[in-house]
């Protein structure tokens, strides 16, 4: 590990000022990703700005019915908050599917959004990796790419975003509040994470001087017909091969409103307006779900070892939509299909 300066911010303005002082400064909150990256020599910050004392730890109901989640709310506290459990159970379920209890106890809401890919070549400084060292090449495209992207990838990077929580936030159409030297702004969740294109080193649309202060949830939480299905190599402490977050609104057997997003398949949580449109106004039956899955996966592409994910995603979508329509969300402890 390299030497670095440590600075503690006492308010958001000071945090923005401190991060702006050094081009290679990093915020630290839970530290559940950054410390690993520093140990592996992937991140080499010159300054660490400690933001753990900022007043961003509240979960507040909003007048219009939504929820405002401070960026420093721990993942565990968010998953077990009564308003989240009651009104946004898909979010609670997704959080509980991620990492381990110890990590969820430390990880912050803002940090979960900004965690970096777990592509093993990204963490291996002996391997070429365009995300770590732009222009050096991508070891994964012709390498061990079992965990990698099947949608939205580019010739420079086929990494996936590792978060479970973000897949749920995508269907909830959360808004991300940020502050920087130019002031405050709000980013639609769909615009926060980027596809790799030819600049895979940039994960998000945040500017270097900006800090996430809160995540806002709109009132609609899909508390009745939802699921978060995570398919992985073992039951806990594993990243998704494919995950599916679903929120449905039903009128009898007819789908009035439908949202679904996939994790583990792209550089960002993957939503497709055309696939969701294929569900609206249709009966909530298997043939409808298969059609929507086929729409979403129409441009899916495998890279050899991960090609199985295309079929896995298709079956995962159908299963998740079935579970949500029947009101039988995925349990993280019981894998019985109802």
- Contact footprint for ligand SF4 (CB under 6 A): 117, 119, 121-122, 129-131, 138-140, 157-159, 200
Euclidean distance between the first and the last CA atom of the chain, given in angstroms as a whole number: 49
Residue 134 CB, shortest distance to ligand SF4, in Å, is 9
- Do residues 138 and 148 lie in contact, with contact meaning Cβ atoms separated by under 8 Å? no
Distance CA 9, CA 29 (A): 11
Q: Which is nearer to ligand SF4, 154 or 282 (CB)?
A: 154
> 117 vs 323, which CB is nearer to ligand SF4?
117
CB of 245 to ligand SF4, least distance (A): 23
The answer to whether the CB of 160 falls within 8 A of the CB of 145 is no
- When the beta carbons of 159 and 279 are compared against ligand SF4, the nearer one is 159
Which CB, 241 or 320, lies closer to ligand SF4? 241
Partner residues linked to 246 by β-bridges: 227, 260
In whole angstroms, what is the distance from residue 195 CA to residue 217 CA?
A: 23
Residues 6+ apart with CB under 8 A from 206: 114, 178, 187, 192, 212
Q: How many residues does the chain have?
A: 338
- Closer to ligand SF4 by CB, 115 or 139: give it: 139
What are the structure tokens assigned to 105, written together? 């106890």
User: Residue 135 CB, nearest distance to ligand SF4 (Å)?
Assistant: 11
Of 306 and 322, which has the nearer Cβ to ligand SF4?
306
- Cα–Cα distance measured from residue 328 to residue 322, given in angstroms and rounded to the nearest whole number: 8
Q: How far is CA 231 from CA 45, 46, 181, 335, in A?
A: 34, 38, 41, 10
CA distance 244 to 29: 28
Q: How far is the CB of 268 from ligand SF4 (least distance, A)?
A: 13
Q: What angle separates helix 286-296 from helix 308-325, to the nearest 10 degrees? A: 140
CA nearest 116: which of 30, 231, 202? 202
User: Contact at 8 Å (CB) between 192 and 204?
Assistant: yes
Least separation in angstroms between residue 267's CB and ligand SF4 is 8
* CB of 42 vs ligand SF4, minimal distance in Å: 10
| Token couple for 92 | 């609670």
Nearer to ligand SF4, 110 or 200 (CB): 200
């Amino acid at each position: 590990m390299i030497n670095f300066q440590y600075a503690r911010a006492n308010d958001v303005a000071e945090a923005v000022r401190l991060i702006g002082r050094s081009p290679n400064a990093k915020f630290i909150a839970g530290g559940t990703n950054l410390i690993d990256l520093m140990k592996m020599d992937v991140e080499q910050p010159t300054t660490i700005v400690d933001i753990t004392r900022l007043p961003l730890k509240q979960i507040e109901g909003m007048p219009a019915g939504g929820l405002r989640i401070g960026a420093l709310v721990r993942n565990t506290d968010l998953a077990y908050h009564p308003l989240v459990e009651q009104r946004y159970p898909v979010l609670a379920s997704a959080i509980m599917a991620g990492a381990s209890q110890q990590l969820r106890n430390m990880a912050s809401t803002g940090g979960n959004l900004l965690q970096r890919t777990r592509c093993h070549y990204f963490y291996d400084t002996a391997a070429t990796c365009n995300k770590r060292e732009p222009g050096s090449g991508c070891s994964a495209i012709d390498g061990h790419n079992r965990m990698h992207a099947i949608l939205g990838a580019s010739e420079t990077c086929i990494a996936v975003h590792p978060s479970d929580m973000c897949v749920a936030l995508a269907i909830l159409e959360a808004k991300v509040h940020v502050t920087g030297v130019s002031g405050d702004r709000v980013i639609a969740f769909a615009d926060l994470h980027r596809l790799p294109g030819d600049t895979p080193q940039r994960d998000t649309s945040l500017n270097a001087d900006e800090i996430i202060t809160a995540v806002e949830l709109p009132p609609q939480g899909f508390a009745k017909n939802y699921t978060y299905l995570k398919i992985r190599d073992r039951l806990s402490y594993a990243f998704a091969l494919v995950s599916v977050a679903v929120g449905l609104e039903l009128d009898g057997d007819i789908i009035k409103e439908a949202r679904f997003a996939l994790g583990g398949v792209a550089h960002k949580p993957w939503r497709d307006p055309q696939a969701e449109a294929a569900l609206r106004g249709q009966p909530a039956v298997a043939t409808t779900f298969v059609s929507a899955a086929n729409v979403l996966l129409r441009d899916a592409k495998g890279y050899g070892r991960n090609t199985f994910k295309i079929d896995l995603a298709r079956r995962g979508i159908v299963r998740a939509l079935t579970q949500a329509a029947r009101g039988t969300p995925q349990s993280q402890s019981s894998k019985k299909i109802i």
